[in-house]
């Protein structure tokens, strides 16, 4: 396996870093404080081509490989872009748009992918429910066939982009009452009768990414909005794990590079007892720990990205290890960095407290760390 980046990939990363630092980062603090989605930055991501990076050119993308897509997501966070915007980007591109692209019909791809790739439309995925999070097979939302339509009833919870989405990929039960079989996926557009947004959720972190309920009350959609074969959507949902364990994890890793740069610079400049605090062993060890995490986490997510580029089937054990490691360890580096900066680290202007809050989602979203341990032990 060769994890070396090409010259083109490294140049592209530098372009993203410069773009993000100039066009997005200056507004991050204000939007985080006010828990406000930054539509201007979203549109700039679309103009730069990041939202549709891996889709083919004929559908508005760039045809990039998976490693390049992961590199882009990592670079945004490394530049200082907040975890809310990168979370919205990940849910939009990989959980919504890619599901349509991978499993949808040609008509569905042509209708939705160009608008999603450009950022004109925003997408979300409606999978989690009040009583079904890690237990995907336990979802209760139902879809019943009625003539040439499907009628959806149920509620989704913790939906990233839910309140701002123009289109949602919604999972509902069309077959047996329980179990993996009989779960189907549908495209539901904003404005469809019976489809509404419930309450918005105020969160500890990733505050610029809107999170809400989605409600389906006799929501009628045409039969052509079914994605893929009826009853096959559980496997579709599981295939998003490939993205969830690589491109969507990448910003947490990129944030650690940002933290490492900030804390190293501060430790070299800050003096106590007549010398830079970087000379004290306790500070050196904290900085070393951050570097160790960064290197290990990057290796894990790029291995998954590389395997996906090679067409290898996903190794769920590797994926669970990556998710668990990044999730559980993403908090310690930012916490250590806050300790090095002391009172300054606790203040909003230094960004580290925001990165700590944003990082708290990593062991929860996309499958909790406890669930990853169950998966790891079972597969072993």
Q: Which domains does the chain have, with CATH numbers?
A: 7-122 (1.10.540.10), 124-234 (2.40.110.10), 240-379 (1.20.140.10)
d(CA 127, CA 157): 8
Rounded to an integer, the average pLDDT of 345-357 is: 92
pLDDT tens track for 113-129: 999 999 999 999 999 99
Pick from 10-24, 289-303, 309-323 the range whose average pLDDT is largest: 10-24
* Residue 270, CA atoms < 13 Å, CB-side half-sphere: 16
Residue 268: how many CB atoms within 10 A of its CB? 12
Q: Which of 169-183, 274-288, 292-306 has the lowest mean pLDDT?
A: 169-183
Q: In this structure, which long-range contacts are made by residues 55-58, counting pairs with CB atoms below 8 Å and at least 24 apart in sequence? A: 55/97, 55/101, 55/113, 55/117
Asked whether the predicted pLDDT for residue 237 surpasses 90, the reply is: no
**Percent of the chain beyond pLDDT 70?**
98
Is the separation of the CB atoms in 137 and 177 below 8 Å? no
Residue keyed to tokens 């990592």: 74
pLDDT, position 319: 85
Is the separation of the CB atoms in 86 and 208 below 8 Å? no
pLDDT tens track for 57-98: 999 999 999 999 999 999 999 999 999 999 999 999 999 999
Residue keyed to tokens 């404080």: 33
Asked whether the predicted pLDDT for residue 210 surpasses 70, the reply is: yes
What's this model's pTM, rounded to 2 decimal places? 0.94
Rounded to an integer, the average pLDDT of 232-236 is: 89
Q: In this structure, what token pair is assigned to residue 175?
A: 């077959």
pLDDT band at 184; cut points 50, 70, 90: very high
pLDDT band at 178; cut points 50, 70, 90: low
Rounded to an integer, the average pLDDT of 284-292 is: 96
pLDDT, position 1: 62
pLDDT tens track for 136-158: 777 899 999 999 999 999 999 99
Asked whether the predicted pLDDT for residue 379 surpasses 90, the reply is: no
pLDDT, position 125: 96
Residue 27: how many CB atoms within 10 A of its CB? 17
């Amino acid at each position: 396996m060769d994890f070396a980046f090409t010259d083109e990939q490294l140049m592209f990363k530098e372009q993203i870093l410069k773009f993000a630092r100039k066009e997005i980062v200056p507004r991050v603090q204000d939007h985080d404080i006010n828990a406000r989605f930054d539509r201007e930055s979203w549109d700039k991501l679309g103009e730069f081509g990041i939202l549709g990076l891996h889709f083919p050119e004929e559908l508005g993308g760039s045809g990039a490989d998976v490693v390049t897509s992961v590199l882009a997501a990592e670079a945004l966070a490394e530049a200082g872009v907040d975890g809310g915007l990168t979370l919205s980007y990940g849910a939009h591109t990989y959980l919504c748009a890619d599901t349509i692209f991978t499993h949808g019909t040609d008509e569905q791809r042509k209708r939705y992918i160009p608008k999603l790739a450009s950022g004109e439309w925003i997408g979300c995925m409606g999978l989690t429910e009040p009583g079904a999070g890690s237990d995907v097979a336990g979802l209760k939302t139902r879809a019943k066939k009625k003539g040439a339509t499907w009628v959806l009833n149920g509620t989704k919870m913790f939906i990233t982009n839910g309140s701002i989405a123009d289109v949602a990929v919604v999972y509902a039960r069309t077959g047996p009452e329980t179990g993996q079989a009989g779960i189907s996926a549908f495209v539901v557009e904003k404005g469809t009768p019976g489809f509404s947004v419930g309450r918005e959720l105020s969160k500890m972190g990733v505050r610029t990414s809107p999170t809400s309920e989605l409600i389906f009350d006799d929501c009628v959609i045409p039969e052509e909005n079914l994605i893929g074969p009826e009853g096959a959507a559980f496997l579709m949902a599981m295939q998003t794990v490939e993205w969830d364990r690589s491109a969507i994890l990448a910003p947490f890793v990129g944030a650690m590079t940002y933290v490492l740069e900030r804390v190293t610079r501060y430790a070299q400049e800050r003096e106590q007892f007549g010398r830079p605090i970087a000379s004290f062993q306790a500070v050196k060890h904290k900085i070393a720990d951050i570097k160790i995490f960064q290197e290990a986490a990057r290796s894990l997510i790029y291995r998954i990205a590389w395997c996906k580029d090679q067409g290898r089937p996903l190794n769920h054990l590797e994926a669970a290890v990556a998710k668990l490691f990044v999730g559980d360890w993403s908090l310690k580096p930012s916490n250590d960095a806050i300790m090095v900066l002391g009172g300054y680290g606790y203040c909003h202007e230094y960004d580290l407290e925001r990165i700590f809050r944003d990082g708290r989602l990593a062991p929860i979203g996309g499958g909790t760390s406890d669930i990853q341990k169950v998966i790891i032990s079972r597969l072993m």
